[in-house]
Amino acid sequence: DVEDQAPITVDSIFRIYSMTKPITSIVLMQLFEEGALLLEDPVEKFLPEFANPTVMVGGNDVSPVTRPAARSITIRDLLSHCSGLTYGFLRQGPVDARYRAEGLGDINAPDYSLREGMKSLAKQPLLFDPGTAWNYSMSTDVCGAVIEAITGSTLAQAFAERVFDPLSMLNTGFSVPSTEAERFTSLYAPISGSMTRIDRAGSSAYLEPPVFLSGGGGLVSTLGDYQKFTSMLLAGGVGDGNRLIGRRTLEYMASNHLPGGRLLNELGQSVFAEVAMDGMGFGLGFSVVEDPAANGSLCSVGEFAWGGAASTAFWVDPVEEITAVFMTQLLPSSYYPLRRQLRAAVYQALL
């Protein structure tokens, strides 16, 4: 915090936003391993409100013209962001506008529950038939609701039992405890040509537990905690002496699941992703590098990664056996090329 002269430390707590998504995806795939779901299961099996989805074909945000979707949204569609859902902040058309009007996917947590949010989301038309294109979306929030429906636990409880406790991630959760508030960081954005504090650590909404538990972007964490998570991914699903997920399951998640094996720049309808789209596929919760040259990166084929809205990022390179986590608090994540610069610095140092 520049204004309060509070420096970043190794124990600082950050808003990780969409770096929540890989954690949600891991927990959902744990349930897959336990036989609680199949990737081909329709979402309405767990959340009945998603039955009979429609696709927008005309009209406007107030009076949309729709048709029945070709099929239901599946669990695989959610994990791979091929569901037809979207985000309001993308501002690409009338469906996004409907999300904004309903407060769906806003960066600030809404005052309604996750299940209430799902009922509102399920009423919105899709951008496309499920499984036919890629669009960054609230799909992982739906995954979180599926986790709650299957386990009978809140998403916070499921995360703690299945990820945070086994990995000793003691500083990760949906809010910052009052006893740790002095370690929380402030959030900045470039406004009128200068860095402006838009969420002060000492008065942030994150100091209180949210009503809406967002599996798509609700967590706070520390550099050390998230490194425990990525180290588990690098180790094939084992961390702190505990196996969280099977090695083959993780390899499957970190494979390209886009229809026809295509890439984000070929199939993506979204103008935004937390990674460069060229040469990039998408798995079940992670981006996956298919062509490093096209991606403009020194990384390996098979590197998987993601990032968060406040310019945080991580990647796992199974070939070089390295993982990296980067934390800062700057919106939007596209403002500075921090991620590419860090990746270049790391890979050029390898002997």
Indicate the number of domains in the chain. Answer: 2
Domain for residue 6, yes or no? no
- Residue 105 has what pLDDT? 82
> In which domain, by residue range, is 128 found?
28-153
* Residue at which a domain ends, from 102, 119, 153: 153
Shared-domain flag, residues 177 and 133: no
Domain for residue 107, yes or no? yes
Shared-domain flag, residues 180 and 37: no
Count CB neighbours of 48 within 10 A. Answer: 11
Nearest to 229 by CA among 10, 27, 8: 27
Tens digits of pLDDT across the chain (351 residues): 778 778 899 999 999 999 999 999 999 999 999 999 999 999 999 999 999 999 999 999 999 999 999 999 999 999 999 999 999 988 889 999 999 999 998 878 888 999 999 999 999 999 999 999 999 999 999 999 999 999 999 999 999 999 999 999 999 999 999 999 999 999 999 887 788 999 999 999 999 999 999 999 999 999 999 999 999 999 999 999 999 999 999 999 999 999 999 999 998 766 667 778 899 999 999 999 999 999 998 999 999 999 999 999 999 999 999 999 999 999 987 777 888 888 889 999 987
Contacts of residue 234, Cβ cutoff 8 Å, sequence gap at least 6: 316, 318, 321, 322, 323
For the full predicted model, state whether its pTM sits above 0.75.
yes
CA-to-CA separations, 134 to 41, 83, 89, in angstroms, rounded: 19, 8, 16
Nearest to 94 by CA among 61, 128, 127, 57: 61
- Residue 256 has what pLDDT? 98
Nearest to 240 by CA among 224, 217, 220, 222: 224
Domain for residue 7, yes or no? no
* Residue at which a domain ends, from 115, 131, 153: 153
Shared-domain flag, residues 337 and 195: yes
> For residue 287, what is the enclosing H or E element?
strand 287-289
Whether the Cβ atoms of residue 209 and residue 218 lie closer than 8 Å to each other? no
- Residue 125 has what pLDDT? 98
Domain for residue 237, yes or no? yes
Shared-domain flag, residues 163 and 86: no
DSSP assignment letter at 113: -
Shared-domain flag, residues 130 and 162: no
- Residue 270 has what pLDDT? 65
Shared-domain flag, residues 161 and 148: no
- Residue 271 has what pLDDT? 65
* Residue at which a domain ends, from 100, 126, 153: 153
Domain for residue 338, yes or no? yes
Domain for residue 304, yes or no? yes
Contacts of residue 288, Cβ cutoff 8 Å, sequence gap at least 6: 254, 255, 256, 280, 281, 282, 302, 303, 304
Assign residue 118 the CATH number of its domain: 3.40.710.10
